[in-house]
Amino acid sequence: MPDLRHTDIQYLHGVGPKRAELLRKELGLSTYYDLLYYFPFRYIDRSVINHVNELRGDEAAVQLRGRFLTFNSVGEGRKRRLQALFSDGTGTIEVVWFNRVASIQKTYNTNTQYVLFGKPSMFNNHLNIVHPEIDLAQAEHVAQGLQGVYNLTEVLRNRSFTSRAIHKLVLTLLDTPAVRHIDETLPPELVHRYHLMPLAEALRNIHVPSDHQSLQRAQLRLKFEELFFLELNILHYIKGSSRRLVGHVFSRVGAYFHDFYNNILQFPLTGAQKRVIREMRQDMGSGKQMNRLLQGDVGSGKTIVAFMTALIALDNGYQACIMAPTEILAGQHLETIRPLAEAIGVKVALLTGSTRKRERTAIHEALQNGELQILIGTHALIEDTVQFRNLGLAIIDEQHRFGVAQRARLWSKNRTAPPHVLVMTATPIPRTLAMTVYGDLDVSIIDELPPGRKPVTTVLRHEPDRFKMYQFVGAQLKQGRQAYIVYPLIEENEKLDLHALELGYEQVMEVFPHYNVAMVHGRMKPAEKDHQMMLFASGKAHILVATTVIEVGVNVPNASVMVIEDAERFGLSQLHQLRGRVGRGADQSYCILMARNDLGRDTRHRLQVMTQTNDGFVVAEEDMKLRGPGDMEGTQQSGIAFNLHIANLAQDGQIIQMARNAAEDYLRDDPKMETPWGRKMAAHIREIFDKQANWGLIS
């Protein structure tokens, strides 16, 4: 029997070399297999016949039964079109064709009953349908039941390669022996345990559903299969014991950790903080390299966890580094950590792009002789000139700014074995999803905020409310609090945005003549930026007008108001990050989203999510639903390709969980995938994922 994956689509009856070329170029379909797995993106119920006198012109698609009354060719040359009048007994509707006029005129006549299928619209106050599908009304010619609609490109449509043409090819394909006798890809126990539809039946029903229920079962089966192989690949190949690298063994928790915990730490750790520290201790003592993602909402206390994890490395005679995405953040980490470290006799230094040559040389030396134990910095840390004596742990803060490749470069910083890696992110997503999206990472979650935090009150306001907004900010300032006013800054529009920011700055100075206003933006020299930030952080400036440079990490507990200008231009996770800058002290804090009046539906919804919840997990999930996981910050670089055929990582959370469990169960019984089914599935996984190259390479 021909192998579906290696049979060129041109050999399918009705295709041939020319159409094959089109399908390959336009839809990326080059084999039988590709076409078989090219699923409809929606379905239309063709069993319903509509009536012309009931149409409003806003229906997605309708089906009409009747006859043509007249055909009229109108216009000349390229403007030529064909207009027909179609009647179903309840009324008439105009039907229009803009091309193939002659051939249409030859094919259809006024004596025959037809069934038309298409999208009606209102044009110049009367109903019409452009380019409908047309069948003879005799039953055997009419499409029945649910009909799949396939995605097309403009080029295909112009060559009259319709969704129905694809559908016909699929029908032919479904009837070939190779497909009718297609091999089941899942072990029978699994099909049985999860009540899955067998593969052959599912493939038929996904293209030609016999009814709604069969369609749903087919979708479930195919999504499950896709996710099951994805999870199996992650568990076996990417994280499987065979691929796991040997790691430095941190066998004990020693003096540094205990000294800090017992004598320096000012507050009790939350239960979640304790749990994740325990998880990491276990990992780092296991003999395998740790690759862990630490998720925690803004303000959940990741920094202290990072620091204490670093102390475990130090207790075992290793060095640690902490890498942040911006100089400001790296600087803040230093300020937070240095006093804690010095109190227990640990040496810390900061290395960024603007570190002076002399200091840099001194740092290099101290790193190599082991005197310097914790190095904090920016990308400057991964430069080749930076050599550690014995780096045991690399911590990356705010992960979405770093790519997989950069993470990999950190690994080469220890010559005997790669350091343990802890990646921290404040863009939390559900655990199973995180384990899937960041396939190579284990996941720890801080799902608890330190006690006493008040949720930030968030409101959506528009231009007419500006004066009231300023009044409110003024009242907060009067109480001794500080405020952020943030402007968007995107690269294409940099000049304009900078202008808006500067205007805003002037306006704020006018409105608040008795307060000091600082300003930071990305185009400033680092020294000036730091100076302005310092003014605000120290309380000398009461208002900080800024672009998103303050988005991550910055900590000024006395700030109680965050005004976000042009809020509609920010993504959800960005808004949540910004909001996280306030609500850090004990007092009630506020986030005011200033937006245009005439917001689109999605945009308004996005901003409303912010006013309804403070929970980063909820925000992240909504974000994913609105944008799809492929667009989420961080996921592009996560190394996992998102060319799933049918499953949707944002929406199929339950199936992901099911598939994850099934893959774990399977590997428990067949850990090396060496049973006949194991070998078969291993081959299948290689087929699927080899194309996606290198996504497991760095593990």
From 278-286, 456-464, 550-558, 680-688, span contacting Mg ion (CB under 5 A): 550-558
Q: Which residues contact 478 (CB under 8 A, 6 or more apart)?
A: none
From 46-54, 474-482, 535-543, 552-560, span contacting Mg ion (CB under 5 A): 552-560
Which CB sits closer to Mg ion, 40 or 553? Answer: 553
E strands along 504-642, which residues? 517-520, 543-546, 559-564, 590-595
Which residue of the chain is nearest ligand ADP when measured via CB?
A: 301
Of 377, 310, 376, 370, residue with least CA distance to 344: 310
Other Cβ atoms closer than 10 A to 335:
13
Contact 116, 132 (CB under 8 A): yes
Which CB sits closer to ligand ADP, 123 or 267? Answer: 267
Nearest approach, Cβ of residue 437 and ligand ADP (Å): 20
Other Cβ atoms closer than 10 A to 352:
20
Which CB sits closer to ligand ADP, 450 or 671? Answer: 450
Q: Which residues contact 413 (CB under 8 A, 6 or more apart)?
A: 321, 382, 386, 387, 388, 391, 394, 419
If one asks whether residue 555 binds ligand ADP (CB under 6 A), the answer comes out as: yes
Which CB sits closer to Mg ion, 398 or 440? Answer: 398
From 293-301, 315-323, 493-501, 514-522, span contacting ligand ADP (CB under 6 A): 293-301
Tokens of 661: 């469990």
Candidates 240, 247, 553, 583; binder of Mg ion (CB under 5 A) is 553
Candidates 118, 299, 583, 616; binder of ligand ADP (CB under 6 A) is 299
Q: Return the half-sphere exposure (C-beta side, CA atoms, 13 A cut-off) of residue 636.
A: 7
Nearest approach, Cβ of residue 549 and ligand ADP (Å): 17
Q: Tell me how many residues contact ligand ADP (CB under 6 A).
A: 16
Candidates 4, 298, 341, 595; binder of ligand ADP (CB under 6 A) is 298
Which CB sits closer to ligand ADP, 55 or 441? Answer: 441
Please measure the distance between the N-terminal and C-terminal CA atoms of the chain and give it in whole angstroms.
38
Which CB sits closer to ligand ADP, 77 or 451? Answer: 451
Site string for ligand ADP, 211-250 (x = CB under 6 A): ----------------------------------------
From 27-35, 141-149, 297-305, 403-411, span contacting ligand ADP (CB under 6 A): 297-305
**Residues 533, 546: Cα–Cα separation, whole Å:** 10
Nearest approach, Cβ of residue 453 and ligand ADP (Å): 8
**Residues 370, 414: Cα–Cα separation, whole Å:** 13
Which CB sits closer to ligand ADP, 273 or 638? Answer: 273
Candidates 182, 276, 304, 422; binder of ligand ADP (CB under 6 A) is 304
Buried b (16+ CB within 10 A) or exposed e, 673-693: beeebbeebbebbeeebeeee
**Residues 233, 412: Cα–Cα separation, whole Å:** 25
Tokens of 20: 């094959």
Candidates 118, 209, 240, 301; binder of ligand ADP (CB under 6 A) is 301
Q: What is the 3-state secondary structure (H, E, C) of 164-225?
A: HHHHHHHHHHHCCHHHHCCCCCCCHHHHHHCCCCCHHHHHHHHHCCCCHHHHHHHHHHHHHH
DSSP letters for 281-317: HHHHTSSB--EEEEEE-TTS-HHHHHHHHHHHHHHTT
If one asks whether residue 300 binds ligand ADP (CB under 6 A), the answer comes out as: yes
Nearest approach, Cβ of residue 580 and ligand ADP (Å): 6
**Residues 553, 303: Cα–Cα separation, whole Å:** 10
Candidates 296, 331, 419, 639; binder of ligand ADP (CB under 6 A) is 296
Which of Mg ion, ligand ADP, none lies near 573, with the C-beta cut-off 5 to 8 A by kind? none
Which residue carries 């910004």 as its tokens? 578
Tokens of 120: 């009606």
Contact 526, 354 (CB under 8 A): yes
Q: Restricting to residues 581-620, name those near ligand ADP by CB under 6 A.
A: 584
Nearest approach, Cβ of residue 576 and ligand ADP (Å): 11
Which CB sits closer to ligand ADP, 555 or 588? Answer: 555
If one asks whether residue 450 binds ligand ADP (CB under 6 A), the answer comes out as: yes
Which CB sits closer to ligand ADP, 335 or 602? Answer: 335
Axis-axis angle for helices 676-690, 212-232 (nearest 10): 90
Contact 381, 321 (CB under 8 A): yes
Q: Tell me how many residues contact Mg ion (CB under 5 A).
A: 1
Candidates 96, 269, 408, 511; binder of ligand ADP (CB under 6 A) is 269
Pairing of strands 457-462, 120-123: unpaired
Tokens of 432: 């199973």
From 350-358, 366-374, 404-412, 545-553, span contacting Mg ion (CB under 5 A): 545-553
Which CB sits closer to ligand ADP, 115 or 395? Answer: 395
Which residue carries 């303050």 as its tokens? 550
Site string for ligand ADP, 409-438 (x = CB under 6 A): -----------------x------------
Contact 126, 74 (CB under 8 A): no
Candidates 41, 98, 123, 267; binder of ligand ADP (CB under 6 A) is 267
Chain centroid to CA 206? 26
Which of ligand ADP, Mg ion, none lies near 298, with the C-beta cut-off 5 to 8 A by kind? ligand ADP
Interface residues with Mg ion (CB under 5 A) are 553
Interface residues with ligand ADP (CB under 6 A) are 267, 269-270, 273, 296, 298-304, 426, 450, 555, 584
